[in-house]
A and B are shown apart, each in its own frame.
Chain A
Amino acid sequence: MSDVADRVKKIVVEHLGVEEDKVVENASFIDDLGADSLDTVELVMAFEEEFGIEIPDDAAETIQTFGDAVKFITEAS
């Protein structure tokens, strides 16, 4: 697994308090990992901080799954 994916997974596990093995490619933050809409905003904030990037609101809305996040951040950073 790439470095980006590891770091994203760490944030998701810490923030949502879920088991690491639940954080898989297609895991939806809201449907599978128990996030509410505010959690997703906070995850995006945490990603921005960790990777030193800016994720605009319209892009943030497309980040629904763990895989989406890794893909977006890999392309952006």
Chain B
Amino acid sequence: MFDLTGKCALVTGASGGIGGEIAKALHAAGATVGLSGTRVEPLEALATELGDRAHVLPCNLSDPEAVDALPKQAAEAMGSVDILVNNAGITRDQIFMRMSDDEWQSVLDVNLTSTMRLCRGVMRPMMKARWGRIINISSIVGATGNPGQANYAASKAGMVGLTKSMAYEVASRGITANAVAPGFIATAMTDKLTDDQKGKINAQIPAARMGAPEEIAAAVLYLASPEAAYVTGTTLHVNGGMAML
């Protein structure tokens, strides 16, 4: 089950907690992985850890030209891009009434527009190959909203609409497009929270704990696999029951 031998996967935000685990899971299943992100050091460290079949592909996702060039660079490094995981994302939280144009635009640019550009860049070879997997990492807040995150929530909801529309268009060509919507996941960011803060968060989660990055990676691995060929246009919520959608 879930054998990705011979497949090549491009993962954005691979320097982060969730992206790194996604890359590891796909790699462990036999895929060649392209590790993209802005910070080169952690990408190099991850590539070293993974050994063979790992390529470092730095990219600044707020630079449209760099984003447009990434699919080609990835295909040159790996031979193809069969699996695209749009995981990179930023937050610039602010209550809506105070939200500046820049806070809005920068989050939309990185989270939504770069996702669109990368999807567009990989679509043509996937169409020719009659096989492709696009997995966009959305968020629970794209479905539920969250105070202080109008920009982030809009970008994550936008990813779901984008995913569904693409899924319609290319389903007959063997390409699936799906979203994964994590709830609260324990990463370096949540480690900084106090026990009291963590307790309050956990009280909202039926599973009574935060998720692990590995649990997001497992969802991505499934959607990337040949076994998930009949699953497209869906959003797989991985949130410990925090929102049952």
A-B contact pairs, 10 of them (CB 8 A): A38-B127, A38-B169, A38-B170, A38-B172, A38-B173, A41-B127, A42-B127, A45-B124, A45-B127, A45-B128
Within 8 A of A (CB), among B123-161: 124, 127-128
Which residues of B lie under 8 Å from residue A42 when comparing CB positions?
A: 127
A contact residues, total (Cβ < 8 Å): 4
Q: Write the chain A residue with the least CB distance to B123.
A: A41
Chain B interface residues (CB < 8 Å from chain A): 124, 127-128, 169-170, 172-173
A38 to B172, CA, bound (A): 10
Within 8 A of B (CB), among A28-76: 38, 41-42, 45
Interface contacts beyond A38-B127, A45-B124, A45-B127: sample of 7 additional A-B pairs, CB < 8 Å, sorted by A: A38-B169, A38-B170, A38-B172, A38-B173, A41-B127, A42-B127, A45-B128
* 3 nearest A-B residue pairs (beta carbon): A38-B169, A42-B127, A45-B124
Which residues of B lie under 8 Å from residue A41 when comparing CB positions?
A: 127
Which residues of A lie under 8 Å from residue B169 when comparing CB positions?
A: 38
Q: Write the chain B residue with the least CB distance to A49.
A: B128
Q: Write the chain A residue with the least CB distance to B125.
A: A45
Which residues of A lie under 8 Å from residue B173 when comparing CB positions?
A: 38
Q: Write the chain A residue with the least CB distance to B127.
A: A42
A2 to B113, CA, bound (A): 44
A38 to B127, CA, bound (A): 10
Q: Write the chain A residue with the least CB distance to B173.
A: A38
Which residues of A lie under 8 Å from residue B124 when comparing CB positions?
A: 45
Which residues of A lie under 8 Å from residue B172 when comparing CB positions?
A: 38
A38 to B174, CA, bound (A): 13
A41 to B169, CA, bound (A): 12
A41 to B127, CA, bound (A): 10
A42 to B175, CA, bound (A): 14
Which residues of B lie under 8 Å from residue A38 when comparing CB positions?
A: 127, 169-170, 172-173
A42 to B173, CA, bound (A): 11
